[in-house]
Amino acid sequence: MKLKALLVFVLAAVLVSACSVAFAADRKIVVGFAQIGAESDWRVANTNSIRTACEEAGFDLRFVDGQQRQENQIKALRDFITQGVDVIGFSPVVESGWDEVIAEINEAGIPLILLDRTTDIAGDNYFVTWIGSDFLEEGRKAGRWLVEYMQKTGRGRDEINIVELQGTVGSGPAIDRKKGFEEVIKDYPNLRITQSQTGDFTRDLGKTVMESFLKRGERIDVLYAHNDDMALGAIQAIKEAGLKPAEDVIVIGVDAVKGAFEAMLAGEMNVTVECSPLLGPQFVEAVQAIMAGKELPKITYSIEYVYSQEVTRRVVDGRQF
């Protein structure tokens, strides 16, 4: 009798697990994504890439625009926990202030993918994988381009005044793009940052802060902007001050959004360091790997280049962002 009961039990267990697998195979993967906002062309392209890739993958995507406010992102993350999503994706607007909500996500056992930006939480056990750019290297690339450009144009020994438009205060890209740039120029004492202030990655604030830099009346030779949107706003301020952008004031940006290419073709910007927003496909691959129980590397960098004024219309027309 006992053997018969055991066989019935085993058969029932196999049927239940088969049904749960079948159910799992039928239902959509549910993904919660807490996006920073829509502060720049880069962010808009990033959102489009995520939405398109998730739609093509057939995910049930719950997408929240945090409007660049940390409290909105924290609320979205808590809502995802309540909804019991399968995977959470997240790009933290700033590095600090996430410990509590991340602990709640970990407690709920929901896999977390960091996309683009990072947090200052110690260790890397709290997330499955981070996909994004090397912001420190982007700052170094901007610094190296400037050193080479000054030497190439015979100004390698001139006293050069640099003004800096920083990204969102406390954000990973703002912290590391500043650090990487300064790491390079520290070996050239004639290259000095004379004014530095946040433009919060937006075009409007970039213009306003550049106006204040110009109003100080000190000579400005170079603008280093942590993203192209602030650089494009600053270009307007430079022109309204009667100066020629890319000539009187060398203009360096980061992101390589289409507006920067158009400005370079118009002779109003010198260089942009690429930071790819097209992370959607890599994000989808990571979600699918997690759902299939596969291992993932902790870090996946996107491949990026430096584009200077000698770009052709062909390059511009071929770009996706």
Q: In what order do the strands lie in the sheet with 112-115?
A: 60-65, 30-35, 87-90, 112-115, 129-132, 299-301
116 binds ligand GZL (CB under 6 A): yes
Cβ–Cβ < 8 Å for 236, 280:
no
Q: Give 86 or 132: the residue with its C-beta nearer to ligand GZL.
A: 132
Query: Under the criterion CB under 6 A, does residue 304 sit at the interface with ligand GZL?
Result: no
- The whole-angstrom separation of Cα 277 and Cα 61 is 18
Q: Which stretch binds ligand GZL (CB under 6 A): 37-45, 157-165, 183-191, 210-218?
A: 37-45
When the beta carbons of 175 and 250 are compared against ligand GZL, the nearer one is 175
Residue 98: CA atoms inside 13 Å, Cβ hemisphere, count? 29
- Shortest gap between Cβ of 56 and ligand GZL (angstroms)? 22
Shortest reach from residue 170's CB to ligand GZL, in Å: 12
Question: Any residues with CB less than 8 A from the CB of 165 and at least 6 apart, and which?
Answer: 197, 198, 199, 206, 209, 210, 223, 224, 225, 226, 230, 231, 234
The binder of ligand GZL chosen from 255, 268, 274, 304 (CB under 6 A): 255
Q: Count the residues of the shown chain that bind ligand GZL, applying the rule CB under 6 A.
A: 15
Q: Which residue in 35, 47, 198, 227 binds ligand GZL (CB under 6 A)?
A: 227
275 binds ligand GZL (CB under 6 A): yes
Residues 179-208 that bind ligand GZL (CB under 6 A): 201
**From the CB of 293, what's the least distance to ligand GZL, in Å?**
29
Stretch that binds ligand GZL, among 35-43, 82-90, 95-103, 119-127 (CB under 6 A): 35-43
N-terminal to C-terminal alpha carbon distance within the chain: 70
Exactly one of 29, 31, 34, 39 binds ligand GZL (CB under 6 A); which one? 39
**C-alpha separations of 223 from 80, 126, 191, 248, 276 in Å:** 41, 38, 12, 10, 22
Q: How far is the CB of 57 from ligand GZL (least distance, A)?
A: 22
Residue ranges in the chain assigned as alpha helix (H)? 2-26, 41-56, 70-83, 99-108, 135-152, 172-185, 203-215, 228-240, 258-265, 280-291, 313-318
> 273 with 256: CB under 8 angstroms?
yes
With binding defined as CB under 6 A, does residue 164 bind ligand GZL? no
Candidates 29, 33, 34, 43: give the one binding ligand GZL (CB under 6 A): 43
Q: Say if residues 36 and 66 touch (Cβ distance below 8 Å).
A: yes
Distance (Å, whole) CA 321 – CA 276: 9
> Cα dihedral angle (255, 310, 195, 212), rounded to 10 degrees?
-90
For residue 168, the minimal CB distance to ligand GZL (Å) is: 7
For ligand GZL, give the closer residue by CB, 146 or 254.
Answer: 254
Interface pick for ligand GZL out of 164, 229, 274, 304 (rule CB under 6 A): 229
What is the binding site for ligand GZL (CB under 6 A)?
Answer: 39-40, 42-43, 116-117, 132-133, 173, 201, 227, 229, 254-255, 275
